[in-house]
Structure 1
Amino acid sequence: MFHDAIDLRDFYDSGLGQVARRMIRRRVREVWPDLRGQIVLGIGYATPYLRPFRGEAERVMSIMPASQGVEYWPPEGPSITCLADEAELPFPDMSVDRVLLVHGLEFTEQLKPMMREIWRVLAGGGRLLTVVPNRRGIWARIDRTPFGHGSPYSPSQLKHTLRENMFVPERTRRALFIPPVKSRVLLGSAPAWEEVGERWFKAFAGVYLVEASKQIYAGMPRKAQRVRQRRLIVPLPTGAGAVRPSLGREDEGWAGAAAAIHDGGSGS
């Protein structure tokens, strides 16, 4: 079940949440450095990571699942968020270039329908970027943050889930190597933790980010139908001077039957 939108907002307003947002946003930006002219859709609770794209992308939108609740965002202008069932996205086919899925995969009870809907609305050359808690990371073991709720994934489980739902994993990033503590001194050293963790402790990242492309199967041409050749049985004369060709057993039987019909017709 999805975390409540109010709880998610309060977490990202806290000091720990702001650090988590900055560290994850850096990795998102590494994967998507330039989204000019693109249509970007956030699903789950992606608004903390969408702000950098607002002045760059052609359009930015956010869907918050019905069981999570919705909040007005951004506060300084018209809202670009809406409430919807994650298994019935209110967009036409192939209408979105980028989908950012945060606090969604680990919470949804409609995994396959949701992934199918993302596949449907994503353009042929589009990309899906998922952010999920790492099963081996400390963030998934402490429930003071949203990353400690829901079903965490290992890298292999996440990639398998994407492949099972017609996506091809392309690139992987990691974030949140800093422990989820509220110490200001420790939080201030978060960039150093990220650098050390990325180099030496990759398996213990708090979250994994995997970018995937939409898998489109190539059409298979119809096989040309083979023309079945039919044998024409012709009665052969049985006179002494006739030359009998060499026949197989099956052909001899047909030839004998045809000759018997021929002889019977002559006798009458």
Structure 2
Amino acid sequence: MSILDLKDWLQTPQGQYLLEWEQDGLDRMVADVFGYNAVQVGLPGLDLLRANRMPYRVVCGRVADSGVVAEEFELPFASASIDLVLLPHVLEFSEHPHRVLREVERVLVPEGSVVISGFNPLSLWGLRRLLTRRKDAAPPWRGQYRAVMRIRDWLTLLGFEIQGNGFGCYAPPASSLKWLQRWQFMDRAGRRWWPVLGAAYLLHGVKRVHGMRLITPHWRSRKAASKRLSPVAQRDGGSRKTQ
């Protein structure tokens, strides 16, 4: 299964339930990420970066209706040229997840952000996937679900600092809208009693560059220097001299 199959599944009641939670979380997570260039990798047709205010936002994917056509592990962008990269369910459906993250690290500017969404294997949905390990299984049960701690470790090795994460979608993976609505009480209970067992997660990492120091104006030192150089009036035998 590829991420292209996931796009069709997101139109189902099950997929809409997941997408609603993810879009709300992404809106809050990327709203205050500033810069000039943002890239969404995969899922063309969905504006998952709608809440971000960067002037240039593009969708990169394998299909022709993407703004930029490319593989997720070979991004056609210059090194240190992108301020924000969004990976919606890319890592679990890519054959080269490590290469994807290395590419993201390459194209991001220092202090640039990566936001990742994925399915949590430690959830009722993860259990559903374990019970359906067939090659012909319907999406999204063919993906390679990866634990959040593993993704965090990969990012840390690449020099990222984790800024935040969140879990959601605690209802069982019912296929009908009626049953998903009946299980909605589990979303409220899950956020309180078992927060890390949601079906999906969001993860925000920032690229850190060791030894980099932000240069700011030396207003205080300039003010102190101006005081030292100011003339001082002194009395000498009744006359005033300036030194």
TM over 0.5: yes
Change (3 A) 1:97 1:145: farther
State the distance in 2 between where 1:137 and 1:18 align.
18
State the distance in 2 between where 1:42 and 1:130 align.
10
State the distance in 2 between where 1:127 and 1:109 align.
23
Partner of 2:60: 63
Partner of 1:251: none
Q: Which deviates more, 33-42 or 108-117?
A: 33-42
State the distance in 1 between where 2:99 and 2:177 align.
41
Residue 48 (structure 2) pairs with residue 50 (structure 1): yes
Contact 1:70 1:81 in 2 (8 A): no
2:201 to 195, 200, 208: 208
2:105 to 119, 123, 136: 119
Change (3 A) 1:174 1:86: same
Q: Which runs of 5+ in 1 are unaligned?
A: 73-79, 220-268
Partner of 2:157: 164
Deviations 1:20-53 (A, max 9, x none): 1111111112322345664221123375352624
Contact 2:40 2:87 in 1 (8 A): yes
State the distance in 1 between where 2:35 and 2:183 align.
33
Change (3 A) 1:163 1:140: same
Give the C-alpha shift of residue 189 in structure 1.
5.6
Give the C-alpha shift of residue 203 in structure 1.
2.8
Contact 1:169 1:212 in 2 (8 A): yes
**Could you tell me which amino acid in structure 1 is paired with residue 83 of structure 2?**
D
Percent identity between matched residues is 23
Residue 27 (structure 2) pairs with residue 29 (structure 1): yes
Deviations 1:146-170 (A, max 9, x none): 4433322223212112112222212
Give the C-alpha shift of residue 191 in structure 1.
6.0
State the distance in 2 between where 1:159 and 1:35 align.
20
State the distance in 1 between where 2:152 and 2:82 align.
22
Contact 1:46 1:100 in 2 (8 A): no
TM-score when normalising by structure 2: 0.73
TM-score when normalising by structure 1: 0.67
Give the C-alpha shift of residue 4 in structure 1.
5.2
Deviations 1:200-245 (A, max 9, x none): 12132112211111021227xxxxxxxxxxxxxxxxxxxxxxxxxx
Structure 2 counterparts to residues 167-182 of structure 1, below 5 A: 167-182=160-175
State the distance in 2 between where 1:206 and 1:98 align.
25
Give the C-alpha shift of residue 192 in structure 1.
4.4
Partner of 1:86: 72
Q: Which runs of 5+ in 2 are unaligned?
A: 130-136, 213-243
**Could you tell me which amino acid in structure 2 is paired with residue 103 of structure 1?**
H
**Could you tell me which amino acid in structure 2 is paired with residue 15 of structure 1?**
P
SS in 1 for 2:125: helix
**Could you tell me which amino acid in structure 1 is paired with residue 37 of structure 2?**
I
Contact 2:167 2:197 in 1 (8 A): no
CA root-mean-square deviation: 2.6
Contact 2:39 2:85 in 1 (8 A): yes
State the distance in 2 between where 1:50 and 1:101 align.
10
Deviations 1:59-114 (A, max 9, x none): 221122xxxx4252xxxxxxx53321223211112221111111211222223322
Contact 2:3 2:42 in 1 (8 A): no
State the distance in 1 between where 2:109 and 2:91 align.
20
SS in 1 for 2:18: helix
Give the C-alpha shift of residue 11 in structure 1.
0.8
State the distance in 2 between where 1:36 and 1:166 align.
20
SS in 2 for 1:142: helix
Change (3 A) 1:71 1:167: same
